[in-house]
Amino acid sequence: MIYTFVNGCPTEERKYLLDFKGSLVDPTGRLSSWKGYNCCQWTGIRCDFHSGHVISLHLKTPFASNYWDNPKILSGAIHPSLFNLQNLEHLDLGYNDFSGTSISPQLAKLQSLSFLSLANAGFGGEVPVELGNITTLRHLEISVGSSLSLNDTALQSRKFAGWIRNLQSLEYLAMDSVNLWMASEHLCNALRSLPNLREIHLADCGLSGTIPSLLNFTHLSHLDLSSNPFNYSLLPAWFQNVSSMVSLDLRSCGFDGFSIPSNLLYRSNLRYLDLSDNSLEGDLSFLLYQSSSIANLYLQDNSLDGVIPPFFVNFTKLKNLVLANNYLTGDIPFFGSALTVIDLSQNKLTGNIPPSIGCLPLLRSLNLENNRLSGKIPDTVSKLARLEKLKLSSNNLTGSFSLSLIDNLTQLRELNLSSNSFTINISSTWIPAFAHLEFLGLSFCNIDGGFPAFLSTQYSFLDLDLSHNNIVGKIPNWLWDLPALEVLLLSNNQLQGYLPSVISKGFAFVDLKRNKLQGSLPSLENSMGLLDVSENNFSGPIPTIMKADSLVLSSNNLTGEIPSSFCTNTIQIQILDLSKNNLRGTIPPNLGRCEYMTILNLAQNDLQGEIPEQIGNLSSLRTLSLYGNNLQGSIPSSIINCSFLEVFDVGSNLIEGNIPVCIGELRWLRILNLASNKLEGTVPAFLLGLKLLQILDLSHNCLSGPIPINLGNLDGMIHESHNDESEFASLVPVIDTVYGNKFMIWDQVTLWVKGRPSSYEKIFKEFTFIDLSNNTLSGQIPPEVGLLKNLNALNLSRNQLSGSIPESVGALVKLESLDLSANKLSGKIPSELLNLAFLEVLNVSDNMVSGLIPQGKQFSTFEASSFAENRDLHGSPLENRTFSPGFDGKGIPGIQEELDNREKEAEEEEDKMKRWWAVGVGLSYGMGFATVIAVLCFRIRWRYEYFSFLDSLMPHLFGRH
């Protein structure tokens, strides 16, 4: 082909580039220079100096923290004309957005290509095998990137091992987050065929099995196989012999339960090592063999223990040391002076923060959070002039600390001193030298007085936490106008006054609970993540404009009706807690339009009317609490559509009718409270088919009939929960900020446990409870109750149950409260109940049980009221036993034994008393003889008793029996 050159640019190639430009979307005009005849002068174009052919097209989007929001991103399609640039050697389209398109096989036409980067450009589908025909490639980068790999058309390469082996010149390979799981078996052989590889980046590719051996790679310097589920039993031995390696990244590779071999780093020249987020055990002694070349060491999120060895001071090139979230103990040692990042958080370190920490002039980040450090913060922290992050929260630091000590830290961006045992002193006139704080954590710091004035000098706040202090006065108005502030935590203080009538800024989270704020609630004109103003003194109606994802307004004095505007086109609320107020009226049917609602808590108000059928439209609902209102009617059958419901609490209302069958279809239900209503019918057997149920309260209704026997279906009350996601049930995370703050809303339910009402805000996964009391249930207590080995409390009182107490109740080894009072139970109290070591409350009063009360163990702690009103029940703690007419208990096993023991004890006591009388008479003979004679002369009966006593005493005095 003959090219026509115009000012050094081939005309045909200029046309190809313009065709390519025409298929792109360029919102910011990055390609505005693509005009005129000399394409060699266009942005991103480089031509051969002699021939003028286009040899480089570099259109990688300039760096931005969030590429999706970067306005400079190019998008659109790849025009086929691009592949006619036969002399192209360098092609970089990385970090653009070509989502929805596949990588074209026509790339193989570019036979001169040595550099190809399509990284994070949104391509999907299958990687074409034709790439293996570009044998000139030395650099291949088609990584997806975590921010772009969530679409449904994510990249994959099922034939990776076949085409990659053809690229014999390849030196750099990066295919992070490309699905290569089908290539796992042949990956090792495929990579061995590429002896020139210097860098391999295959993170998060779904690889499994064995880590490929790369022992013969004499030039390999960088290896990243992180986030692949290898589940390897130990680290491959070949690592120690690859002396060319300078960077090794094996984080999140499933290494489980083994120690790092001591010779792993023998003869190593590593500068970067990342073994984080595995389950590695043992200590840090393997580092002893590491040369001083190491600069970046990441071992966080493992199970390493022991002390931090002192030889770290010899690592003179170490810059980043991250050992967080392990089990390291002991003191903090000396470190090399080149360190810029130290993260030892979430360990078990003790002792003081060493003053030597001030001898690290390059330190930018110091994180010692969540340890057991004590003593004071050393004054030497004031010498860390380059420090940007100082995190010392959740330790046992004591004394007092003045913030003026860190006045020299002009670069400070994050400061967290929360949850220690010291007092923070803040001068009202102090103005720090730093002015760009983004995060400040001073919760639980015993701060007194008014709102800290220095905060008004900080305009870059993203996250401010002053919760759990003693701050008084008003919230300053300037705080609501800080341009970057997203998270504001001021809960548990003594703040007073009013909020602005309108909050126009869209916060991510505002927590003002447990203060003394008053007045009306503000309108929220811009969408807020979560607003929590619970437990204050707010009054008046709820504003109609409350644009928030989550609202917690409980425990105030709010009045009026629930606005129907909560769920509109502009407001789609997810969490709504209006409990413990004075709201009236009905539940708005419009709430059924909140399709994303997960928690709806309207408990303890004065709501009336029926539960609207539209509640059934809340298909994402997990918690529905309507406890303590005046709701009438029946439970709507539409509740069956709330298929993810975990908590259903309509206790203490006026609900009528039978328990609907639809409740038996809520298979995720854990808490069901229908107590204190007007429900009729029987206890339906389908309720006992709810396998996850851990709390069942049907008390104070009009239920009749027997207790169903299919108790063995209640798996949640039989087996312990092994869910480690949370300590608590139905924990709902609301927001997780970049600074680690997690906010959550807890399920709430009011139960009668251990004889008294208790309001639970945090329902432990292990807490299980059944209350069927105050009904008219009849029949026997089914023996199957003994299957509920995880049960903590059982209340069947005030019914008409008959028969005996099942011996199987003794198998409920976790039982803490058992109330069977006010029934018609008979027979004995089973001795098997002595096995209930955790039993604190027992009540079998007002029945017809008989026989001897089991003695010993926890039964010795129960009072007589636990057994009262049982005519033929005997034994401690009942003091006065009453028998039926003509019954004295003799000859009855157990009772006869008790009588014999008491008679024997009385004889022994009488014997002791006689001995003491003998001693007393001897001592008082000289002094009291006249008194004795006078007494004996006073009454004849006393004389008779006295001489009878002497007759019985003689054998004891003279040793004759």
Q: Where are the alpha helices (DSSP H) in 137-183?
A: 160-163
Q: Is the pLDDT of residue 49 over 60?
A: yes
User: Mean pLDDT: which of 142-151, 287-296, 836-845 is highest?
Assistant: 836-845
pLDDT band at 564 (very low <50, low <70, confident <90, very high): confident
Q: Is the pLDDT of residue 817 over 50?
A: yes
Give the integer Cα–Cα distance in Å for 58 and 182: 32
Residue 182: predicted pLDDT: 85
The identity of residue 487, as a single letter, is: V
Give the integer Cα–Cα distance in Å for 455 and 57: 49
pLDDT band at 291 (very low <50, low <70, confident <90, very high): low
Lowest mean pLDDT among 262-266, 480-484, 528-532, 883-887: 883-887
The two tokens of residue 133 are 């025909």
Q: Is the pLDDT of residue 559 over 90?
A: yes
Residue 582: predicted pLDDT: 97
Q: Please state whether the predicted TM-score (pTM) of the whole model is above 0.85.
A: no
Q: Is the pLDDT of residue 935 over 50?
A: no
Residue 755: predicted pLDDT: 54
For 154, residues 6+ apart whose C-beta sits below 8 A from its C-beta are: 124, 144, 177, 178, 179
Handedness of CA 182, 187, 193, 198 (dihedral sign): positive
Q: Is the pLDDT of residue 924 over 50?
A: no
**419-432 pLDDT tens trace:** 999 999 998 888 99
**Across residues 23-39, what is the average pLDDT?**
92
Residue 730: predicted pLDDT: 41
Residue 301: predicted pLDDT: 96
Q: Is the pLDDT of residue 961 over 50?
A: no
Give the integer Cα–Cα distance in Å for 737 and 726: 19
CB 644 within 8 A of CB 622: yes
Give the integer Cα–Cα distance in Å for 163 and 149: 23
Residue 261: predicted pLDDT: 76
**Across residues 871-894, what is the average pLDDT?**
60
Work out the percent of the chain whose per-residue pLDDT is above 90.
Answer: 62
Residue 553: predicted pLDDT: 96
Q: Is the pLDDT of residue 123 over 60?
A: yes
**625-659 pLDDT tens trace:** 999 999 999 999 999 999 999 999 999 999 999 99
Q: What is the DSSP string of 258-290?
A: EEPPTTTTTT---SEEE--SSEEES-SGGGGG-
Query: In 238-384, where do the E strands start and end?
Result: 247-249, 256-259, 272-274, 279-281, 296-298, 305-307, 320-322, 327-330, 341-343, 348-349, 365-367, 374-375
Determine the 3-state secondary structure of 44 from DSSP: coil
Q: Is the pLDDT of residue 201 over 70?
A: yes
**Across residues 857-872, what is the average pLDDT?**
92
**Across residues 275-295, what is the average pLDDT?**
84
pLDDT band at 101 (very low <50, low <70, confident <90, very high): confident
Residue 441: predicted pLDDT: 95
Residue 757: predicted pLDDT: 54
Give the integer Cα–Cα distance in Å for 500 and 491: 17
Considering only residues 783 and 571, tell me which one the structure prediction assigns the higher pLDDT: 783
Lowest mean pLDDT among 154-168, 831-845, 876-890: 876-890
Q: Is the pLDDT of residue 945 over 50?
A: no
Q: Is the pLDDT of residue 765 over 60?
A: no
**Across residues 765-785, what is the average pLDDT?**
91
**Across residues 164-177, what is the average pLDDT?**
94
**How many Å separate Cα 397 from the centre of its chain?**
25
235-241: long-range pairs with CB below 8 Å, 24+? 235/260, 235/261, 235/264, 236/211, 237/261, 238/213, 238/214, 239/264, 240/264, 240/265, 240/266, 240/267, 240/268, 241/215, 241/267
Task: Please classify residue 476 by burial: count the beta carbons closer than 10 Å to its beta carbon, then call 0-12 exposed, 13-18 middle and 19+ buried.
Answer: middle
Considering only residues 920 and 331, tell me which one the structure prediction assigns the higher pLDDT: 331
Residue that has been written with the tokens 């060493």 in this structure: 354
Determine the 3-state secondary structure of 9 from DSSP: strand
Give the integer Cα–Cα distance in Å for 357 and 113: 51
Q: Is the pLDDT of residue 811 over 60?
A: yes
Tell me what the pLDDT averaged over the chain comes to.
84
Q: What is the DSSP string of 752-792?
A: EETTEEEEESS-BTT--EEE--SSEEEEEPPGGGGG-TT--
Give the integer Cα–Cα distance in Å for 494 and 447: 11
Q: What is the DSSP string of 495-531?
A: E-S---SEE-S--SEEE--SS--EEPPPEEEEEEEEE
Q: Is the pLDDT of residue 947 over 70?
A: no
pLDDT band at 565 (very low <50, low <70, confident <90, very high): confident
Residue 446 Cα distances to 352, 432, 497, 516, angstroms: 21, 20, 21, 18
Q: Is the pLDDT of residue 912 over 60?
A: no
Give the integer Cα–Cα distance in Å for 491 and 489: 6
CB 616 within 8 A of CB 640: yes
How many helices (H) and strands (E) would you count in the chain? 6, 67
Give the integer Cα–Cα distance in Å for 328 and 324: 9
CB 627 within 8 A of CB 652: yes
**Across residues 433-445, what is the average pLDDT?**
93
Residue 215: predicted pLDDT: 66
pLDDT band at 152 (very low <50, low <70, confident <90, very high): very low
Residue that has been written with the tokens 């009942």 in this structure: 878
Residue that has been written with the tokens 């995190």 in this structure: 391
Task: Please classify residue 913 by burial: count the beta carbons closer than 10 Å to its beta carbon, then call 0-12 exposed, 13-18 middle and 19+ buried.
Answer: exposed
Largest CA distance in the chain: 155
Handedness of CA 275, 276, 281, 282 (dihedral sign): positive
Lowest mean pLDDT among 388-397, 561-570, 777-786: 561-570
Give the integer Cα–Cα distance in Å for 130 and 427: 69
912-917: long-range pairs with CB below 8 Å, 24+? 914/952, 914/953, 914/956, 915/956, 917/949, 917/953
Query: In 384-435, where do the E strands start and end?
Result: 389-391, 396-397, 400-402, 414-416, 423-425
Q: Is the pLDDT of residue 929 over 50?
A: no
